Amino acid sequence: MVVIDSMFLSLMLIPGAKPPRDPSTGKPLERLPDRVQKLLEDLDSESERIILPTPVLAEFLIWFGSHGGDAPEFLNKIGNMRSLLVRPFDQEAAAELAAIEIEDRRKKGKRGGSSSPWAKIRFDRQIVAIARANKARRIYSDDLDLAKFATRLGIEVIPTWELPLPAAKQISMEYEGGQGNG
């Protein structure tokens, strides 16, 4: 199982979604649709299930609705995707988060070393707790705070700029008679 955040959700489902910036160049990430398509193909070939945490879904629906999107139509669309599982911040995730926070408060204080606003810290921690409760091994996210927190807990985080490009397609250029000019 893998988890996606709202950035990845928008890149997967909204054609022409604004690409994030590549930190190495400062420019929009090149060939983003190809990278996302390869990710989806790879996940499908591995029969990998994609978890969409409810806090991520809420964040996305707020953004989507404020940009003129039809939330009920979108919810129907994702409801029909067999590889996408919407998972709540439930009792198991709450227990995960409580254990994590108790440990953090002993070692690093309430914020666990983060300087982000408390609401964002809580939001990120809920996403990671849902990932852990659902035994996810990887999170796809560009959020550096979320990445630090998840990585510290043993969950791999892959940002968009680390998504591989698909292999170049080989083009066969055969000529009549099976031979080239010359």
For residue range 29-69, what is the model confidence (pLDDT) as tens digits? Answer: 999 999 999 999 999 999 999 999 999 999 999 988 888 88
- Domain coordinates in residue numbering, the chain: 2-13+30-160
pLDDT tens digits for range 80-110? 888 999 999 999 999 999 998 888 888 876 6
Residue 84: per-residue pLDDT: 93
If you average pLDDT over residues 164-168, what whole number do you get? 86
Q: Which pLDDT does position 104 carry in this prediction?
A: 80
Composition of the chain by helix, strand, coil, percent to 5: 50, 10, 40
CA distance 88 to 159: 23
Res. 181: pLDDT tops 60: no
User: Dihedral sign, CA of 9, 10, 13, 16?
Assistant: negative
- The pLDDT value recorded for residue 142 is 94
19: pLDDT confidence band, cut at 50, 70 and 90?
A: confident
The pLDDT score that the predictor gives to residue 178 is 57
Return the number of other C-beta atoms located less than 10 Å from residue 41's C-beta: 11
Mean pLDDT, range 8-31, rounded to an integer: 89
* pLDDT score recorded for residue 176: 62
pLDDT digits (tens, 9 = 90+) for 110-163: 666 677 888 888 999 999 999 999 999 999 999 999 999 999 999 999 999 999
| Radius of gyration, CA atoms only, the chain | 20
CA nearest to 57, candidates 35, 41, 79: 79
Handedness of CA 24, 164, 64, 128 (dihedral sign): negative
**Residue written as tokens 């309430």?**
110
- pLDDT on residue 116: 83
CATH fold of 2-13+30-160 reads Rossmann fold (3.40.50)
